């Protein structure tokens, strides 16, 4: 008489990414994708600080959501292009929490304008916020990460760097510069245990997509492999995976999450 063996059990699913105890700063973290990243970090166990430029109502709403997610957030108001603001925010986070483990340079601005209508002031503002802001924040956190023996810097790019889409030229140029900045910085600080990467979302149902005509937006969405726009929560989950404990050893990587456009 033979007895059949029960089929082997399927492998246990991997544990969810953990950021428990990590000290994180998300610039532009009170609306859209920045808020989704901050919330995802909080739900993964991180301490979360966010910056915002001017919308006090959005900042208060984000603070409330972060508290509901289990965080005790720090919220700073000011422009990431303002060195004094950036350095003060970083110094406060490091002083209260003993350091900074993760920086997400997410703050960005744009206008949906053709080149001939872009004023010099428009160009300067986009470059200051989108590129200079990442430079100032990265420079401010590096000493703290070096003292801690490592850390993560994640720059939020844009898929318009690699795709021909309806992106204004100053915005696309700023995001291309951000990729170059991150790749060069990644090589510079890798020996310190600091990883620098770029996460570029496709069009989402947030942000710049709201500036496009609905028909054009539907056309672009239909061209993706998924047949739809990404959600901020999907991109935020990718951000958690990139900086979590046991994350892949990416350094200088440019990860585009655009649904297969």
User: Does pLDDT of 223 surpass 80?
Assistant: no
Q: How confident is the model at residue 179 (pLDDT cuts 50, 70, 90)?
A: very high
Q: Would you say 156 and 106 are in contact if contact means Cβ atoms under 8 Å apart?
A: yes
Say what the pLDDT of residue 110 is: 87
Say what the pLDDT of residue 146 is: 97
What is the pLDDT averaged over residues 122-142? Answer: 98
What is the pLDDT averaged over residues 133-142? Answer: 98
Say what the pLDDT of residue 229 is: 75
What is the pLDDT averaged over residues 142-147? Answer: 98
CATH of 23-254, one of 3.40.50.300, 3.40.50.12140, 3.20.19.10, 3.40.50.720: 3.40.50.720
Return the C-alpha torsion angle 224, 105, 191, 244, nearest 10: -70
What is the pLDDT averaged over residues 46-61? Answer: 96
What is the pLDDT averaged over residues 138-162? Answer: 93
List 76, 171, 181, 250, catalytic entry:
171
pLDDT per position as a tens digit, 87-101: 999 999 999 999 999
138 noted as active-site residue: no
Q: Where are the domains of the chain?
A: 23-254
Question: Could you tell me the strand order of the sheet in which 194-201 lies?
Answer: 74-77, 47-52, 23-26, 102-105, 151-156, 194-201, 254-257
Burial of 213 (0-12, 13-18, 19+ CB in 10 A): exposed
* Lowest-pLDDT choice from 69-73, 109-113, 205-209, 231-235: 205-209
The average confidence (pLDDT) of the chain is 89
User: Does pLDDT of 9 surpass 70?
Assistant: no
Half-sphere exposure of 105 (CA within 13 A, CB side): 31
* Rounded CA separation 100/59 (Å): 21
Q: Which one is predicted more confidently, 22 or 111?
A: 22
Q: Would you say 242 and 197 are in contact if contact means Cβ atoms under 8 Å apart?
A: yes
Say what the pLDDT of residue 261 is: 61
Say what the pLDDT of residue 71 is: 96
What is the pLDDT averaged over residues 198-223? Answer: 75
């Amino acid at each position: 008489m033979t007895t059949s063996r029960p089929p082997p059990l399927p492998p246990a699913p991997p544990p969810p990414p953990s950021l428990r105890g990590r000290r994180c700063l998300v610039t532009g973290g009170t609306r859209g994708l920045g808020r989704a990243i901050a919330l995802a970090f909080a739900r993964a166990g991180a301490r979360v600080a966010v910056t915002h430029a001017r919308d006090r109502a959005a900042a208060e709403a984000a603070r409330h959501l972060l508290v509901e997610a289990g965080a005790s957030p720090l919220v700073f108001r000011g422009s990431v292009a303002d060195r004094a603001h950036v350095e003060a925010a970083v110094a406060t986070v490091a002083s209260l929490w003993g350091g900074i483990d993760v920086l997400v340079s997410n703050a960005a601005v744009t206008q949906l304008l053709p080149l001939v209508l872009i004023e010099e002031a428009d160009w300067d503002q986009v470059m200051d916020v989108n590129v200079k802001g990442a430079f100032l924040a990265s420079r401010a956190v590096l000493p703290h990460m070096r003292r801690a023996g490592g850390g993560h810097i994640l720059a939020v790019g844009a898929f318009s760097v690699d795709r021909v889409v309806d992106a204004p030229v100053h915005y696309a140029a700023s995001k291309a510069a951000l990729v170059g900045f991150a790749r060069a910085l990644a090589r510079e600080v890798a020996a310190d245990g600091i990883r620098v990467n770029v996460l570029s979302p496709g069009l989402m149902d947030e942000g710049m997509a709201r500036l496009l005509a609905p028909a054009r937006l539907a056309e672009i969405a239909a061209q993706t492999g998924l047949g739809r726009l990404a959600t901020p929560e999907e991109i935020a989950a990718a951000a958690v995976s990139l900086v979590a404990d046991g994350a892949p050893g990416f350094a200088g990587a440019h990860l585009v999450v655009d649904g297969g456009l």
